[in-house]
Structure 1
């Protein structure tokens, strides 16, 4: 009986709920900034990088939005204006609707 136990929640690894709890506690802001030459850039800010892999989430968002982007300073930056799409995708990923706020 050598089941792995999560050090945070104390449940077996298959039943671990740490990531779901972390998703509910986030306060995420999604907004658009204009960059050089008036190009829009969608910024996703406020996701705790200790609990959620930002690089994996950014890759998934870039794929679904069909755009380029990066992770800088604990923020996800996507090329183009994708506020609505990103909010819908974050809600589908398990983040609560109240925790995802659209800005500007």
Structure 2
């Protein structure tokens, strides 16, 4: 049976708060950098997973990496995505910032 989350009720005539908790992603302290092309029409995308930072600091780190690489990118589900194959640049930058970094995948 599915749990019904009530958002609006006619009894009180107001919108009720819908509480959703963000699932916490467990990390082992290692930042993993990989190149993904699957589902991206053959274009490469560097993904950075395992960065255990608050959301604002994660956005700042993403902006810093995008500027350093001169490409676009985004954050999806606490994973930073940077366009293109920039694994070596990103690894060097994250190591300078004090993160334990590992190149993952092929």
As a proportion of its length, which structure holds more helix? 1
Equivalent position of 1:81 in the other structure: 85
* d(CA) in 2 for partners of 1:94, 1:58: 16
Give RMSD over aligned pairs. Answer: 1.8
Structure 2 unaligned residues grouped into runs of 5+:
1-27
Equivalent position of 1:44 in the other structure: 48
Tell me if 1:63 matches 2:64.
no
**What is the TM-score when the length of structure 1 is the normalising length?**
0.68
Equivalent position of 2:102 in the other structure: 101
The Cα of 1:52 is off from its aligned counterpart by: 7.4
Equivalent position of 1:21 in the other structure: none
The alignment of Structure 1 onto Structure 2 pairs a total of residues equal to: 77
Structure 1 unaligned residues grouped into runs of 5+:
1-24
Which of these two proteins has the greater Rg computed from alpha carbons?
2
Poorly superposed stretches of 4+, deviation over 2 Å: 49-52
